[in-house]
Structure 1
Amino acid sequence: MRQSITRELIYSIARHSNWQAAGIENKLRSEGLYATPRNWATFIRLFLLGAGASFTLAGVVFFFAYNWADMHKFVKLGLLQFLLLATTFAALVPRFSRTIRNVLLTASAVLVGVLFAVYGQIYQTGANAFDFFWGWTYCVVLWVLVANFQPLWFIFLALLNTTFILYTQQVATYWSFALVLDALFILNAMAVVVWEVLAAKGKVNVQHRWFPRIVGMAAITFITVSMISLLFNSFKDFNEDYGLALLLGFGMYGAAIWYGMRMRELFYLTAVPFSGIGFFTALIIRVGESLPELMLMLATVFVIGSITLLVQYLGNLYRQWHG
């Protein structure tokens, strides 16, 4: 069975042999590891498709906003329902490529939210914003599962985050700030873990890693802010959180660094240390509140030194992995 040729394998052979640069370049091109004109054409086609769908949806929203007073309520609802049905049925046409059908289904998911918003404005239902986003979320969940399309998954996860935030602001108002951030971290971290597991099993396209990186950055941001907030809040807030933020944060640090080293993924080895730098900088400032000038100077020296060492280490690590 022929072993698949990867960029790392070619770099490894080149480091331990006298393989010339021209030969390496030819091998990279022959194995399809360099972008070809066909690859660029595919990228441009997908970019224009996504941009066209996004501008069209924006145009729909602004059309109703601009002509709101001049249209009857039945016209508003009828137009949106027609657009929603037409887009959804077009996504079922087999002659279209899978990518086009997924983009159409993503547009349908967005139109569901527009339809709910127009309905709520017409009849003034009095429902909370939480109810609106919750209804939007569970109405598109079936499409998300069927399509298995990363942009649609991203929209769905954004809806889940928005729904949960609004729930804590309008229903569960007794939740502490740190506890809300802890829950948001768990939600987004679980999404990253599921994606990485599916990627390891070949269920998702690992060539496009923008989804786990964006969601992972959101999860890291949530837990970092939660950990820092515990340092500056009262002891009551710490009791409500039970130190969960620190447990999740340091657990995430260890797991992400281990996974980054194992899979040679520099994103986790970059984002997580910066989170740690932010936390320990806040800790220095918190401990030295009685000597603010001295602690600010120490914090500045710590930030400059730690970032310098981190960048140097990551550069050496990258050269060690990729030559």
Structure 2
Amino acid sequence: MNGFCGGCDSVLSVDGMEPMDTGPDQPVQEQASASCEWVEMLFASGHIDRSGRQAALDILHPRGAWQAWLSQLLLILGAVLSLAGVIFFFTMNWQSIPAWAKFTIVELAIAGCLVGAWRRSLERLTGKMLLLSAGVLVGVFLAIFGQVYQTGADSFVLFLEWAVLIFGWAIISRFRAYWVLWGVLANLSVWLYFFRGIDAGAAFEFIFSPTREMTRFLFVDMALLNGAILAAREWAVARGVEWLQPNWTRIVPAFCTILPLSLPIWTLIVAAEIDYNTTISVLGLDIPIFAKFVISSLPPLVIYGAGAGILGLGLFYACYRLKARSLGVLTLVTLSVCLSLEMLCIRVLIEMSLGILPILLIGFMFTVVNFGLAVMFLRKIQLQWKGSYESTQ
């Protein structure tokens, strides 16, 4: 907003225009952003009249904006509740509905959603939600098919087929929510592939115990999957795909990639044995001055996974520090490093057989220093980017 007009006693310039003094007591600061509080201040000081105040408020908050937002919210809630109703309808009446009726109802619902999406156009939210509903109903159809014919397929096959069948719709939808659904299905496919035939207790052991034999390394595969999704997003944005511009479309897949890269590192820190070769006595405490991790007893895939995690975090740092600058992604990488250092500190303190109070005290001080340095590091990067940006203007 570059100024107020219509009943204004003076014109106020903002962002890029020379600032004007609104009076001896309340000068306008350069590069200040317009806000409702500012408008009320100008009105109270008499620099704009009532009509100018209303015109400014209409620019800041259009009257129809809340109506459009409420309409979109109700549309999304209606679609979610309708899909939930379809699912619970089959759940509660499964025995009383014949097989042909189950397939007919779902197929007609899918066809109706597709026709509605075509008629309403995928440029509108209504069309996008109808196409998304059709994608969800495809999963309902696959579940019914598996139950009726007792295919005996593993759970990961259901989600894999679901993701493959709706992939084309996700492409033509240009709808972020559709890609969130597809990403969840793809990750569930990989996750359930490793846990097929394993109960919940064994699955917990599989994740947190490095002694369990692993046929393939789950976390590296999940990192590769989400990393590919992130790379596809960056490739599309670099070529001008506007609907993927919001920053959260980068942060979410980055988080889903960095987390599985970090888990093997944390497993290595927790599971490796620590060999103390030399200690010194300070205030009656034996403090190691040289220690090494003994990792030879760990499964090779844990070691390889930790190495891949370190390389992956380094690649993230290099890409989003030098190439595609993103403070959000660098924050995730820094958080992963800080948590790794925290776990290493706690592991060493526990191995020293200290009491609970010394562990808490030293751990607290280390946490303050650790995260304090991380914040200073990120702040320094932000200031460097800001300086380089201003120098190019």
> 1:140 maps to what in 2?
166
> One-letter code of the match for 1:275?
S
Higher RCO, 1 vs 2 (CA within 8 Å, ≥6 residues apart)? 1
TM-score by length of 1: 0.79
Offset of residue 92 of structure 1: 1.6
* Residue 295 of structure 2 corresponds to residue 231 of structure 1: no
Partner deviation per Cα, 1:1-59 (whole Å, 9 max, x = no partner): xxxxxxxxx87x69xx86734874359x99xx966445544443333322221221112
Q: Secondary structure at the match of 1:243?
A: helix
Q: Does 254-263 or 155-164 show the bigger shift?
A: 254-263
Q: Distance in 2 between matches of 1:285 and 1:257?
A: 29
> 1:184 maps to what in 2?
222
Q: Distance in 2 between matches of 1:78 and 1:236?
A: 57
| Residue 71 of structure 1, aligned match among 97, 115, 118 | 97
Distance 1:199 1:44, change over 3 A: farther
* Residue 233 of structure 2 corresponds to residue 195 of structure 1: yes
Q: Secondary structure at the match of 2:367?
A: helix
Offset of residue 195 of structure 1: 0.9
Partner deviation per Cα, 1:225-244 (whole Å, 9 max, x = no partner): 22111223464544124534
* Residue 366 of structure 2 corresponds to residue 305 of structure 1: no
> One-letter code of the match for 1:135?
E
Distance 1:83 1:259, change over 3 A: same
> 1:25 maps to what in 2?
33
> 1:149 maps to what in 2?
175
Partner deviation per Cα, 1:158-214 (whole Å, 9 max, x = no partner): 111111111122289997399211111121122112212321321132553333222
Is this contact kept in 2: 1:260–1:268, CA < 8 A? no
> 1:5 maps to what in 2?
none
Q: Distance in 1 between matches of 2:253 and 2:220?
A: 15
Q: Distance in 1 between matches of 2:121 and 2:237?
A: 28
Larger Rg belongs to: 2
Distance 1:223 1:298, change over 3 A: farther
| Residue 111 of structure 1, aligned match among 137, 141, 155 | 137
For 1:155-166, list aligned pairs within 5 A.
155-166=181-192
What is the identity percentage for the equivalent residue pairs of Structure 1 and Structure 2?
A: 23
Q: Secondary structure at the match of 1:166?
A: helix
> One-letter code of the match for 2:33?
E
Is this contact kept in 2: 1:73–1:122, CA < 8 A? yes
Question: CA RMSD, aligned part only?
Answer: 3.8
Distance 1:35 1:207, change over 3 A: farther
Q: Does 83-92 or 260-269 show the bigger shift?
A: 260-269
Query: Structure 1: any 5+ residue segments left out of the alignment?
Result: 1-9
* Residue 275 of structure 2 corresponds to residue 214 of structure 1: no
Q: Secondary structure at the match of 1:127?
A: coil
Query: Structure 2: any 5+ residue segments left out of the alignment?
Result: 1-13, 21-27, 36-54, 199-205, 207-211, 273-295
Distance 1:225 1:251, change over 3 A: closer
> 2:75 maps to what in 1?
49
Q: Distance in 2 between matches of 1:167 and 1:67?
A: 31
Q: Secondary structure at the match of 2:90?
A: helix
Larger fraction in strand? 2
Q: Distance in 2 between matches of 1:117 and 1:107?
A: 16
